[in-house]
Amino acid sequence: MPDNQILTADLPAHVPGELVCEDYPFIMGANTAENPFRTMVPALHDGPDLIYSTNFYPGFQPAWIPRRLETVQALYMDTEHFSSAAFSPYPQLIGEDWSLVPVEIDPPAHATYRALLNPLFTPARLRGLEDRVREAARDTIAKFKDDGECEFMHAFALRFPIIVFLDLMGLPRDRMEQFLEWEFMLLHSLDIEDLAKGARLSVDYLREVIEERRKNPVDDLVSLAVTATADGRKLNDNELIGLCFNLFIGGLDTVSTNIAWQIRHLAEHPEDQRRLRADPSLIPAAIEEMYRRYAAVTTFRTCIKQTVLHGVTIMPGDKIAMPTTLANTDPAAWERPFEVDFNRAPRHITFAYGVHRCVGAPLARRESVIAIEELLAAIPEFSTAEGEALITELGPILQPKNLPLVWGGQRSRRAAAAVEPQPANLPQSGGQRLEGTIAEVTGFLAARLGSMEPFGKVIAMHLDGHELLLDGTANPPKLVTATDQKPDVTVRAALKDFVAILNKEMNPQLAMVKGKLKVRGDITSVMALTKLL
């Protein structure tokens, strides 16, 4: 915890200085090579029950953060003092006026929408989807199961939930790449233009689908939504967009992240993996405990009526961030909170609590079960690739950026080093747009290196047929034609894609996920690379 005596100049009068936290670690845009669940989460419990982060709320605004399970549950229930309205920026970004339905709707109106959604996730409906979900998992795994290794985020975790979502919504599976791209713009970019573009493109597409299903309803979720009645009337356009958009942003990243943490746990705990292989009937119970231990989501509220929390006044307008991560590991609520115990049967709040409790939880659970069953059946004992750092993106969702797995005795040569060069780290091509010649890129990199401190690594960059060697051991770092030193990291990309990244026209992380930017090597050198860019 930080030195809590520091007071920011514009701290509201009702915020006690000793609760101020200026370095809450889960700040959007930050990455870590630590396992945050192992190091940061226990450390965060070593402090006051309520802290005031100066920058955790979206848009880097201040927010109160409770860490006790009891408090978080009470906040979820207290819809008199806390509202979930308008926490997402998307409608405003594209100049529209709708809310995420139902997550941004407060009671009593919320109940109407929720009643409409509940039947869409009944066990009977999910059973109808089950075969296709399993087939999607099998097909996705079949693409890498004989390789002895995979970059699990890229190969499975990010893709599988999108296929399931497309099936659920009745959308064609060939839209997968498109949705992946929109998801990254919406949820992994700090660039306001990316956010707006992702929102614009996905909303326009959803609007087209809604229009089409109005004319030709079929047996899918969008058709059910357009034909259903709530309080005796059909939903209007804004309500329908809000509903489809809520399902889109609610059901993709969350599922990818949870499956990835569950697989990472099994990769790092071979004894647990063997237990599930020996008795797959334990998988659902194991998943519940892993949902508790690796809860990755923080949800948000705004205070609408003055109240008191842990003896502290909370004023209307104050933002609240509720990390399920901390509530689920609260030492006051759980015995051995940091231990994964498959026999625990935890009543966790990974899917929230109260009226907004996740409507998609039954589907998410089936996705996890099927993913783990199919993976254990298809590949032998797996572990994380030796010597490769595992990077996590911090923020309102703690998402693994890379998960290199190996099995069958094969040593991985991949260093799928998915560090995201965040927009803040992106190249500033001096305000001018690069046209795309190798000479321009070379000039840009030479100038950038010349203004940097040594970073002690050699980076080899292959752009189409050109090889550039960046010597970060020199002072100042420079481009060289040859070096005795083996490169610490090798970057490969098509010149046009690299130029698009430099021009901020391509999201670097998405480029990695799509295999357009291939980074191999020691992860600390990749960090140097992001500084360079």
Q: Which residues bind ligand HEM (CB under 6 A)?
A: 84, 102-103, 114, 246-247, 250-251, 254-255, 258, 297, 299, 324, 350-352, 356, 358-360, 363-364
The nearest distance, CB 364 to ligand HEM, in angstroms, is 4
Alpha-carbon Rg for the chain, nearest whole angstrom, is 24
**What is the residue type of 25?**
P
The nearest distance, CB 245 to ligand HEM, in angstroms, is 10
245 SS3 class:
helix
The nearest distance, CB 328 to ligand HEM, in angstroms, is 11
Question: What is the DSSP code string of 106-117?
Answer: PTTHHHHHHHHH
Q: Which is nearer to ligand HEM, 250 or 395 (CB)?
A: 250
The nearest distance, CB 86 to ligand HEM, in angstroms, is 12
360 contact partners, CB below 8 Å, separation of at least 6: 121, 247, 250, 251
CA–CA distance, 387 with 49 (Å, rounded to integer):
37
Structure-token pair, residue 455 = 């970073």
Q: Which is nearer to ligand HEM, 57 or 407 (CB)?
A: 57
How many C-beta atoms lie closer than 10 Å to residue 376's C-beta? Answer: 18
Q: Which is nearer to ligand HEM, 151 or 367 (CB)?
A: 367
442 contact partners, CB below 8 Å, separation of at least 6: 468, 479
Q: Which is nearer to ligand HEM, 184 or 407 (CB)?
A: 184
Q: What stretches of 118-188 show up as alpha helix (H) in DSSP?
A: 123-142, 152, 160-169, 176-187
The nearest distance, CB 169 to ligand HEM, in angstroms, is 9
Structure-token pair, residue 225 = 């939504």
Structure-token pair, residue 228 = 């259903």
The nearest distance, CB 291 to ligand HEM, in angstroms, is 7
Kind and range of the H or E run holding 319:
strand 319-323
The nearest distance, CB 102 to ligand HEM, in angstroms, is 4
Q: Which is nearer to ligand HEM, 84 or 140 (CB)?
A: 84
Q: Which is nearer to ligand HEM, 371 or 416 (CB)?
A: 371
The nearest distance, CB 423 to ligand HEM, in angstroms, is 26
281 contact partners, CB below 8 Å, separation of at least 6: none
CA–CA distance, 434 with 432 (Å, rounded to integer):
6
Q: Which is nearer to ligand HEM, 140 or 422 (CB)?
A: 140
Q: Which is nearer to ligand HEM, 114 or 448 (CB)?
A: 114
Q: Return the residue nearest ligand HEM (CB atom).
A: 360
Structure-token pair, residue 213 = 């299903």
234 SS3 class:
strand
Q: Which is nearer to ligand HEM, 28 or 459 (CB)?
A: 28
The nearest distance, CB 312 to ligand HEM, in angstroms, is 22
Sheet (strand 399-400) strand order? 31-32, 392-393, 399-400
